[in-house]
Chains A and B, each alone.
Chain A
Amino acid sequence: MSSPRARATLVKDAPRATDAQLMQELAAGQLGALGELYDRYQAPLHRFIARVTRDAHDVDDLLHATFLAAVKCAERYDGRSSCRPWLIGIAATLIRRRRKTFARFVTMLSAFGNAQQRVNDPRPALQARSDVERALAKLSEPKRLALLMAEVEGLSCAEISEALGVPIGTIWTRLHAARRELRQTLVLEPDGEASA
């Protein structure tokens, strides 16, 4: 009979399941797989969503919805070693859908009220903590989304195009415009330090 210390050692030394294995378990409905995936990717996903949406209220909901959507389509996971880009793609899809819904709502409000008055986004914006974040906040959400997916999350333009449902040429255009606008705002040092 093994002692608790020995069992702890065994558990600690047990190899971690790969993302592909976790996705298979998730597709089988295992609750533990979802918890493991959440522990691995909630922070980068939370950060990605927060940087794209700039909305404190939406981040938690979008993060929650992203993992639940991942559960539903876990069977269609392509088996790549890391599911982070895949989760980012799901989050980007949800962000884009939410933005369209919100745009329709704003349009309806504008039409209902004074069409000349611009309806301000009532959602509380996250405070930018650096010059890069402030410059990033000035970009439109589609440009910001494409730039973060490409430069931070490492998705290819083809993957971004597929996730967002827009032509790849549009993604190239958005990336070029986003870089140009950011560089106009920031003075970047070669090591990545920025100064306004």
Chain B
Amino acid sequence: MKTSCPRLFEVEAMRDGRLTGAEVTRFHAHVGLCSTCAREVRAVEALAAALQAPERAGGLPADSDELSVRRRRTRLLAAFDATLLPAPRQAFARLTPILAATLGTLCILIGLAFAIMHRRSLATAIPAAASNAPDPVRVRADGPAQWSRQVDNQLEKIRLEAGTLAIRVDHARSAPRLLVLLPDGELEDIGTAFTVSVDAGRTSRVTVQEGKVVLHLGGKPALALSAGAIWTPDPAPALVSAITSAGPNPPLAPSAGSDATSTAPPRSKTAPGLRTAAAFPPPPSGSAEVTSGPDPAADFRAALAALSAGDQTRAAARFSAFLADHPRDPRAEDAAYLRVIALQRSGDALTTQAAARDYLRRYPHGFRRAEVTPLAE
């Protein structure tokens, strides 16, 4: 008796639809002859029948009752109804991400536009601010002057043809190197405030209020002028007067001059080759009377000589006369200041105060304003 059949697998193959029409017909014929396959067919069919038994029984599921079914039905219909009613809301819900993305993009674009505009305004504001920033080099023409100004690669050139320029350089603001081109030479600034005058194509006067300058004149060695120095090119020895303090007897600064003709020994603060103002010949003694001539340089020199000689009264008078005769002279401010000093040394407080106030009135932004102001109060 055969216990197995090689075509036994075809039982499930036929049930699962894996056999074609002819194969099914042949297998049916085989089942009629093969008891093993026939038994297998019955077993598979019995299994299917067992699985279908609850289905054939019909009715409600064992774990469900009529009430639960009605509840589930109601819930389903309500859910279906809800899917139909809120169509606009669903449409809005679909649009919500699009709206959000659009708004986000819009915000980003606005932000970018604002950033670009802000950057442009900064770019325009910075040059504007830079142009509004105070010029580190302040040039003031004292009276009619012919001059021009040119900046060339961190070198500022001021060409002075005629007249007087008062120049102040603020090196704390990264000022460029400054060179004053004169008809007969040049003046290089080394951080200072100074006044330079040109008359008739020649440098006539250099006064240094602060810092230091170097004067280069044609055919002459360079001359360094420190604060308080006054340089004049007279045939007479050049004068440099230093006034470093407003005290009762401020020392005179060293003077510069290559052709010194002084007969007096230089003071200890005087550099070699330089003369002090005290070495100049004193003016006619015993006279407070002042006579000023048409030569302002001579008048000023005479007044300065009186001051250096210790004749404060006469010096003050000469400086007053100088101011009256030559109010537009480049040395007028120095004369006004030195008059205050002379009067202070003379001990006349009231006159000193009046002279100081006169200085401040004439030169409200003068170079000696800081020193004169306490004397005017």
A interface with B by C-beta (< 8 Å) = 29, 31, 34-35, 38-39, 42-44, 46-47, 50-51, 56, 59-60, 63-64, 67-68, 71, 126, 129-130, 132-133, 136, 147-148, 150-152, 156-158, 171-172, 175-176, 179, 182-183, 186, 188-194
Contact = CB atoms under 8 A, between A and B. Distances in A.
B17 to A, nearest CB: 6
B84 A29 contact: yes
B142 to A, nearest CB: 90
Given A50-B63, A56-B63, A151 B51 contact: yes
B84 to A, nearest CB: 6
Interface size class of B (residues with CB under 8 A): 35 or more
B77 A175 contact: no
A132 B18 contact: no
A112 B51 CA distance: 40
Count chain A CB atoms within 10 A of each CB in B18, B44, B52 and give the residue with the most: B52
A82 B58 CA distance: 17
Contacts of A175: 12, 16
A189 B80 contact: no
A153 B167 CA distance: 110
B interface, over-half SS: helix
B55 A172 contact: no
Interface stretch (B67-75, B148-156, B281-289): B67-75
B77 A35 contact: yes
A18 B80 CA distance: 21
A5 B59 CA distance: 29
Nearest to B68: A60
A47 B59 CA distance: 10
Contact of A71 (B53, B63, B75, B80): B80
Count chain A CB atoms within 10 A of each CB in B42, B43, B48, B50 and give the residue with the most: B50
Interface of B: 12, 16-18, 42-55, 58-64, 69, 72-73, 75-77, 79-81, 83-84
A151 B51 CA distance: 7
Given A126-B63, A176-B12, A182 B73 contact: no
Contacts of B69: 42-43
Contact of B53 (A150, A156, A183, A192): A192
Given A46-B64, A190-B46, A192-B50, A68 B12 contact: no
B43 A183 contact: yes
A188 B43 CA distance: 7
A124 to B, nearest CB: 11
Contact of A42 (B50, B63, B72): B72
A interface, over-half SS: helix
Nearest to B12: A176
B81 A31 contact: yes
Contacts of B76: 34, 38, 64, 67-68
Nearest 3 Cβ contacts at the A-B interface: A192-B49, A188-B46, A151-B48
B72 A136 contact: no
Given A31-B80, A35-B73, A129-B62, A179 B47 contact: yes
Count chain B CB atoms within 10 A of each CB in A42, A133, A150, A151 and give the residue with the most: A151
A89 B91 CA distance: 30
Contacts of B61: 43, 46-47, 50
Nearest to A67: B76
A79 to B, nearest CB: 22
Contacts of A38: 73, 76-77
